[in-house]
Amino acid sequence: MITIKTEKEIEIMRQGGRLLAEVMRSVKNEVREGVTTKELDKFAETLILEKGAKPAFKGYEGYPATLCTSVNQVIVHGLPSGYRLKNGDILSLDLGLIWEGFFSDMAITIPIGEIDFSVLRLIKVTKKSLKLAIKKMRPGNTFGDVGNTIQRYVESQGFNIIRDLCGHGIGRALHEDPQVLNYGKRHKGSKIMKGMVICIEPMVSLGGYQIKKSIDGFGFETRDNSLVAHFEHTVAVAGEKEGEILTSLE
């Protein structure tokens, strides 16, 4: 069942989203060649606790870390480790926190050093597809409109949407209804209503869209080892206009 949030609940989620964005901005500034993904995880957890919030992912379905660090062909849920980032890598950071009983969730992809132009395009296209999708998050549209917008733009740019992973509702639980696909048909699916809070998260591949489980047991990666970008925002339908980004970095 899709839960509708009150104005008071959305305001709490605004506060949590702002805190999460502050943490993500600080973590992003620590990303560089030579740093380990485990160091980034410890840094993120320290910042979240300092703000009086709680990590959303740690302990969730057995996940042992605060930050998801997905490198290169890893799409999501990559486990932090002793891996040192190197020139040419791309790193997707996925982070969530709990503030006054409500969850927030966001993700960004960062290039490390010099990367190929095609990979830079991959990152830019994925980020723009999220921006376009958020414009569709208004009452009267459907989640099919959202997914179709992402799919049409991504495929028009020569990339592929990861189909077996998706966005989700969010609130008092990290994952709530509905599932929000990154592909679909216009005017299909559930209607978007005022009071919904949704995580939209396009995951886009330079190659194929088939996936496999990572060796760490938590992550998912492309079957053909092609590079992937991932962006996510927590978005509220707070009025009649396009969705309000609760986790904005800007």
69 contacts 80 by C-beta, under 8 angstroms: yes
- CA distances to 18, 60, 141, 196 from 190, in Å: 28, 27, 9, 12
Question: Helix (H, G, I), strand (E, B), or coil: what is residue 235?
Answer: strand
73 contacts 214 by C-beta, under 8 angstroms: no
pLDDT score of 250 more than 90: no
pLDDT score of 109 more than 90: yes
Confidence of residue 67 (pLDDT cuts 50, 70, 90): very high
pLDDT of res. 23: 98
User: Which string of DSSP letters, residue by residue, matches 171-231?
Assistant: SSSSSEEEEE-SS--TT-SSBP-TT-EEEE--EEESS---EEE-TTSS-EEETT---EEE-
- CA distances to 184, 227, 228 from 162, in Å: 12, 11, 9
Report DSSP state, residue 238.
-
68 contacts 149 by C-beta, under 8 angstroms: no
Look up the pTM and report it: 0.97
pLDDT digits (tens, 9 = 90+) for 138-174: 999 999 999 999 999 999 999 999 999 999 999 999 9
pLDDT score of 43 more than 90: yes
CATH code of the domain occupying 7-245? 3.90.230.10
